[in-house]
């Protein structure tokens, strides 16, 4: 066998083993044997670059890091699904389908709704040529190299001239636990849930990172295919399975919506035992011809619906209540729970918000409680199982003094939170630096909670400004640091010096000033000195900045500690100037308000388009507003715009303004 033939044979062998292992869950050789074949192929490809192939199994380990993802316009829109939450709503969907089919009886197919990130995979002449995120449904991001690292995605299939499929990339629960454990060891912020982890992993600019995250995929729809490929959805999925795709794990064809509902209930019962997260079930019309007849709205197909399950609840013991001091001095009580699995991850803590929340729910130490994840992310106590009380439970009283510094706590009139007002509180110092380094603020990679704590304990930092004076030799002696990791952190801090002013403002953690307010303030004043000398009256003139926000900002910059912090950062070379618009001035000086649901653009996308072209986006309509971009279900903002005579435009008119 010549070299080329051996290379082709090895590739085919590895693809077959990938299929058996990752799609069929039926490995036919040991990991040792697989690695030996892979190493032989890598060696041959390195020695014979003329036989290189981008779709070789050797490319699944990740390649060169990108600077950014390029945008991809979907030839077939990747629509979202309408949601229902009850039997009655499901019956209404069936009625709409039957009306749309003029009384013709539909056959349905029921599938699990995998909780992950939706992607499109495109093949030409049997080769995987492009993969992209859903994005806003019309435009996504090219993540081809990252998708190639997922071994259940075939890179080559039997010669099909054109095929585009849609799938859901997810992180199995086991992989999620391993990734979070690694993050915990490295002192990095943990992923909130497997969906969050999958999305974060798939959007890494360095595909080598994606390759380590052990993502997987289920294919659930054919977006585009050659004529005659399939007549029904179930037939299409079976053909995709034969081509080597890992398709939806449970697919049941039923003859009525009542049968569909019974299958939904069965899926709900299996939910907790699955090795991956689902958040519902999907009911689709099986016939592709009937789908054509039914068509779609601008947002959703009329032939499918998602039945969403209620948030998963679990019972556990509330062992204790502890308080945490936030970066603004707010004292937040947290429940210490007997660890329990909820929605795919282990929960041992849940926020109790404030004293009023504890009293309203009559929460006591020793109670049996029901917990769930709000939005499937944040653990919360839903209710107390009072019928299970034994009499040994203890009523909790909030502390009167700060647990971190001992200062007396205050509760301001009209507020629910107790606060520590000491500027020397060590807990606030820790939280403020963690916030300063977080992704929404200065985005200093590698500076997680554990590392910040380590730096404070080593007395290397006291304020965020001290970060910019760290040296590699300060870090190397510390636990978890070596030459490379120390240099990486120093490089990340150096990079943060160039961040625009709004990121710095957000990083200060000024009470009531979030990312949006920081951006508006930075754009209005242009530099830190102008902000520091501004009055509350001046600041409150800015769109999206209210009186309380203005007062909070002015108070923050009047503090001697703040002035010292700014001077120290200036001396270190931290940027104190707002990012200048690189627009062509299309919207220069214009203020927009977005209201309602736009046909194709997500609000965040429209806002970015406006800001990138010199305009501003406000959250409320006023005499300063130039245009209101209105979509469907626009509410009071539209009424106010009409009363003030503000120009109201559609998305189509907005896009024409370019």
**Could you list the active site residues?**
113
Structure tokens at 370: 């029901």
Closest CA to 513 of 461, 486, 467, 548: 548
Residue with tokens 């209710």: 383
CA dihedral for 633, 634, 636, 640, sign (positive or negative): negative
3-state secondary structure of 331: strand
Residue with tokens 């360095």: 206
- CB of 152 closer than 8 Å to CB of 201: no
Burial 473-486 (b: 16+ CB within 10 A, else e): ebbeebeebeeebb
Closest CA to 657 of 644, 646, 647: 647
Q: Where are the alpha helices (DSSP H) in 213-362?
A: 233-243, 257-270, 288-294, 355-361
- CB of 330 closer than 8 Å to CB of 110: no
Give kind and range of the element (H or E) at residue 520.
Answer: helix 515-525
Closest CA to 44 of 26, 30, 58: 58
What are the distances in angstroms from CA 147 to CA 206, 218, 242, 304, 338? 12, 13, 20, 26, 38
- CB-based contacts of 348-351 (< 8 A; 24+ apart in sequence): 349/379, 350/379, 350/380, 350/381, 351/378, 351/379, 351/380
3-state secondary structure of 517: helix
- Give CA–CA dist 129/144, Å, rounded: 8
Q: How many CA atoms lie within 13 A of 574 on its CB side?
A: 27
- CB of 119 closer than 8 Å to CB of 143: yes
CA dihedral for 439, 445, 451, 455, sign (positive or negative): negative
SS3 annotation, 199-230: HHHHCCCCHHHHHHCCCEEEEEEEEEECCCCC
- Nearest 5°: the CA angle 531, 551, 417 is 130
Q: DSSP states of 87-122 as a string?
A: HHHHHHHHHHHHHHTTTPPPPEEEEEEE-SEEEEEE
Closest CA to 6 of 33, 46, 45: 45
- Give CA–CA dist 298/142, Å, rounded: 23
Helix and strand numbers (H, E) in the chain are 24, 24
Q: Is 76 left (phi over 0), alpha (psi -120 to 50) or beta?
A: beta
Angle (deg, nearest 10), helices 194-202 and 173-185: 70
Give kind and range of the element (H or E) at residue 617.
Answer: strand 616-618
Distance from chain centroid for Cα 66: 20
Structure tokens at 513: 């000033």
Give kind and range of the element (H or E) at residue 592.
Answer: strand 591-595
């Amino acid at each position: 066998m010549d070299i080329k033939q051996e290379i082709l044979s090895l590739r085919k062998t590895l693809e077959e083993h990938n299929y058996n292992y990752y799609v069929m869950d039926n490995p036919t050789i040991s990991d040792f044997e697989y690695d030996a074949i892979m190493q032989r192929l890598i060696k041959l490809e390195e020695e014979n670059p003329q036989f290189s192939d981008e779709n070789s199994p050797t490319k699944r380990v990740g390649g060169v890091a990108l600077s950014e993802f390029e945008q991809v316009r979907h030839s077939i829109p990747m629509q979202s699904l309408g949601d229902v939450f009850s039997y009655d709503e499901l019956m209404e969907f069936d009625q709409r389908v039957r009306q749309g089919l003029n009384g013709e009886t539909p056959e349905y197919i029921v599938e699990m709704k995998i909780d992950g990130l939706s992607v499109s995979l495109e093949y030409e002449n049997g080769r995987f040529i492009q993969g992209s995120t859903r994005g806003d449904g019309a435009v996504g991001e090219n993540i081809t190299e990252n998708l190639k690292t997922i071994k259940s995605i075939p890179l080559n299939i039997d010669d099909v001239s054109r095929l585009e499929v849609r799938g859901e990339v997810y992180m199995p629960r086991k992989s999620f636990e391993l990734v979070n454990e690694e993050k915990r060891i490295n002192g990095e912020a943990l992923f909130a849930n497997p969906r969050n982890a999958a999305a974060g992993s798939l959007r890494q600019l360095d595909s080598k990172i994606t390759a380590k995250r052990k993502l997987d995929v289920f294919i659930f729809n054919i977006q585009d295919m050659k004529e005659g490929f399939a007549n029904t959805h179930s037939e299409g999925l079976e053909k995709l399975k034969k081509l080597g795709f890992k398709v939806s794990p449970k697919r049941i064809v039923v003859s009525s919506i009542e049968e569909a509902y019974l299958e939904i209930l069965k899926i709900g019962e299996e939910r907790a035992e699955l090795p991956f997260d689902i958040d519902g079930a999907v009911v689709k019309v099986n016939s592709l011809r009937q789908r054509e007849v039914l068509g779609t709205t601008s947002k959703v197909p009329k032939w499918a619906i998602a039945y969403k399950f209620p948030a998963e609840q679990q019972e556990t013991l509330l062992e204790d209540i502890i308080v945490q001091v936030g970066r603004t001095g707010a004292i937040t009580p947290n429940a210490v729970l007997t660890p329990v699995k909820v929605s795919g991850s282990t929960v041992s803590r849940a926020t109790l918000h404030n004293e009023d929340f504890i009293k309203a729910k009559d929460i006591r130490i020793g109670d049996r409680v029901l917990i769930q994840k709000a939005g499937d992310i944040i653990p919360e106590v839903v209710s107390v199982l009072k019928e299970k009380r034994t009499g040994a439970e203890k009523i909790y009283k909030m502390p009167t003094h700060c647990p971190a510094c001992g200062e007396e706590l205050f509760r301001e009139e009209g507020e629910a939170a107790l606060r520590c007002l000491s500027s020397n509180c060590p807990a606030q110092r820790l939280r403020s630096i963690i916030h300063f380094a977080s992704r929404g603020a200065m985005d200093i990679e590698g500076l997680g909670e554990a590392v910040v704590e380590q730096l404070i304990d080593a007395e290397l930092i006291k304020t965020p400004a001290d970060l910019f004076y760290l040296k590699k030799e300060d870090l190397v002696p510390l636990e978890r640091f070596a030459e490379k990791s120390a240099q990486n952190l120093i490089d990340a801090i150096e990079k943060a010096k160039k961040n625009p002013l709004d990121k710095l403002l957000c990083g200060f953690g000024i009470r009531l000033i979030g990312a949006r307010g920081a951006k508006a303030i930075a754009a209005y004043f242009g530099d830190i000195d102008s902000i520091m000398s501004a009055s509350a009256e001046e600041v409150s003139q800015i769109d999206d900045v209210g009186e309380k926000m203005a007062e909070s900002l002015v108070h923050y910059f009047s503090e001697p500690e703040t002035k010292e912090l700014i001077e120290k950062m200036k001396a270190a070379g931290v940027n104190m100037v707002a990012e200048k618009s690189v627009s062509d001035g299309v919207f220069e000086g214009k203020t927009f308000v977005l209201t309602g649901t736009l046909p194709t653009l997500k609000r965040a996308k429209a806002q970015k388009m406006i800001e990138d072209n010199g305009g501003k986006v406000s959250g409320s309509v006023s005499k300063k507003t130039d245009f209101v971009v209105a979509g469907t279900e626009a509410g009071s903002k539209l009424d106010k715009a009409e009363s003030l005579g503000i120009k109201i435009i559609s998305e189509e008119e907005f896009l024409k303004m370019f």
